[in-house]
Amino acid sequence: MNSRQCRVAVIGAGPSGLALASELAARGISGVLLLEREADAGGIPRHCGHSPFGLREFHRPMTGPGYARRLVATALRQGVELRSGAAVTQIGPGRRLTLSTTDGVETLSAEKIILCTGNRETPRSARLVSGSRPLGILNTGALQALVYLKRRLPFRRPIIVGSELVSFSALLTCRHAGIRPVAMIDSEAEVAAWRGAAILPLLLGTRLLLNTSLQAIHGGERVEAATLLSRDGRSRQLDCDGIIFSGRFVSESSLVRSSHLRLDDAGGGPLIDQFGRCSDPDYYACGNMLHPVDTAGWCWAEGRATAASVAASLDGRLPLAERSLAIEAGSSEIRYFTPQLLALPRSDGSALPAPPHRQLQIRMQQDAAGRLSLRDGERVLASREIRARRERRVLLPLPSIESLRQCRSVTLDFEPA
């Protein structure tokens, strides 16, 4: 078995991994190896053929593929070594990983290993939808790869399940390919994306059915119809030839689940501290595997910020945490948050670099209004009024590391308004 070494191994060449690797290289760190399991780097934007991408990074609207190419070109220009077709199959203690390429398996050791494996949508099976299992049932990701990368149509008249941002991306993808969705449905009373998005299906001739859930799928070889159930209890059958299960993103953290790293059961990604460090501090994580789902631009920015702390740790400015506290969730209305660990100040009083995570990123179970607060017993460390939509990011500023010195336990609470 081949074995090699590098300084930093970044797993996953989507927006966060590309940004992180580029930034490390730009900071003069050599030996940055970016591993991508697909044949082409770029991640999910590779197959989002529509705008807008790149506003934050390149200050102009780009299509997903154009944006992905630009990120890859930047990484290569900075001197990142990119290996595509390299699938990491195992990560372990001692900064070692196993990967598979067309040449078989090899092992790799690195001083730091960064997990940027992103997220994916929840498939039909995990949603436990009744009915038969014909062809024509897929997620937006698969639809987009089929339409934009392979120029293939899996159906002509699907139903889109969900109304998150990605659901509208599915709608635009359909439009691009000449697919005419018969309906977009959501079990809630309002669309999950921004409210104004509700106009889009109407403009494109697709019915938007809110308060409506998918009760069963029918069909032999291919999807033939779906039974929809509205909140008032009425059910009806709608002819269609496909189902797009959009959104309900989950962390792609299979590597973490089979590793020594501690997992955040709520968010599904690895536990990290403010510096992006995992429970094994030789590992870092960033991007959508921590917080499914945010935009490519947000992940890109997080990748750049996390690179600063990786760089600090490589040159000795970020020592191991002597002590850290796990933030406890004090309300069942909070779905998950990241970072979940707070590194505490060092006993010798030495300064730490500024962490990349200066805010908690939170998602609520559903639409929620009220006050979020981070407490150490009676002491409020941070607090904020929120009006949050489901699936949307909520931010709560974290106190400075120095101010955590006396903390015994930290709880994230939510009090509904």
Asked if residue 408 binds another protein (CB under 8 A), the reply is no
C-alpha dist (Å) from residue 409 to 48, 90, 281, 399: 43, 34, 21, 14
Secondary structure (3-state) at 296: helix
Q: How far is the CB of 302 from another protein (least distance, A)?
A: 22
C-alpha dist (Å) from residue 378 to 156, 373, 381, 402: 58, 11, 9, 19
Report how far residue 343's alpha carbon sits from residue 338's, in angstroms, rounded to the nearest whole number.
13
Residues numbered 233 to 272 that lie near another protein (CB under 8 A) are 241, 250, 252, 254, 257-258, 265
Asked if residue 172 binds another protein (CB under 8 A), the reply is no
| Contact between residue 18 and residue 303 where contact means Cβ atoms under 8 Å apart | yes
- Written as six digits, the tokens of 343 are 């590194």
Among 74, 139, 206, 338, binds another protein (CB under 8 A): 139
Among 56, 133, 323, 387, binds another protein (CB under 8 A): 133
Q: Which is nearer to another protein, 130 or 235 (CB)?
A: 130
Give me the sign of the Cα torsion angle 221, 225, 229, 233.
negative
Angle at 117 between CA 321 and CA 20, to 5 degrees: 60
Asked if residue 216 binds another protein (CB under 8 A), the reply is yes
Q: Which is nearer to another protein, 38 or 111 (CB)?
A: 38
Amino acid letter, 130: S
Report how far residue 225's alpha carbon sits from residue 216's, in angstroms, rounded to the nearest whole number.
9
Secondary structure (3-state) at 256: helix
Asked if residue 366 binds another protein (CB under 8 A), the reply is no
Q: How far is the CB of 264 from another protein (least distance, A)?
A: 11
- Written as six digits, the tokens of 259 are 């590793």
Among 12, 54, 141, 303, binds another protein (CB under 8 A): 141
- Contact range with another protein by CB under 8 A, out of 12-20, 125-133, 391-399, 408-416: 125-133
Total residues in contact with another protein, by rule CB under 8 A: 53
| DSSP codes joined into one string, 67-88 | HHHHHHHHHHHHT-EEEES-EE
Amino acid letter, 197: A
Asked if residue 67 binds another protein (CB under 8 A), the reply is no
Asked if residue 129 binds another protein (CB under 8 A), the reply is yes
Report how far residue 16's alpha carbon sits from residue 294's, in angstroms, rounded to the nearest whole number.
11
Q: Which is nearer to another protein, 149 or 382 (CB)?
A: 149
Q: Which helix (H) or strand (E) holds 102?
A: none
Report how far residue 127's alpha carbon sits from residue 214's, in angstroms, rounded to the nearest whole number.
10
First to last CA, the chain: 60
Residues numbered 77 to 106 that lie near another protein (CB under 8 A) are 85, 87, 89, 100-105
Asked if residue 69 binds another protein (CB under 8 A), the reply is no
Report how far residue 21's alpha carbon sits from residue 164's, in angstroms, rounded to the nearest whole number.
29
Asked if residue 177 binds another protein (CB under 8 A), the reply is yes
User: x-or-dash pattern for another protein, window 15-54, by CB under 8 A?
Assistant: ----------------------xxx-------x-------
Amino acid letter, 315: D
Asked if residue 55 binds another protein (CB under 8 A), the reply is no
Asked if residue 405 binds another protein (CB under 8 A), the reply is no
User: x-or-dash pattern for another protein, window 314-353, by CB under 8 A?
Assistant: ----------------------------------------
Q: Which helix (H) or strand (E) holds 379?
A: strand 379-388
Q: How far is the CB of 65 from another protein (least distance, A)?
A: 14
Asked if residue 378 binds another protein (CB under 8 A), the reply is no
Asked if residue 154 binds another protein (CB under 8 A), the reply is yes
Q: Which residues of this protein are in contact with another protein, per CB under 8 A?
A: 37-39, 47, 85, 87, 89, 100-105, 120-121, 123-126, 128-133, 135, 138-139, 141-142, 145-147, 149-156, 177-178, 216, 221-222, 241, 250, 252, 254, 257-258, 265
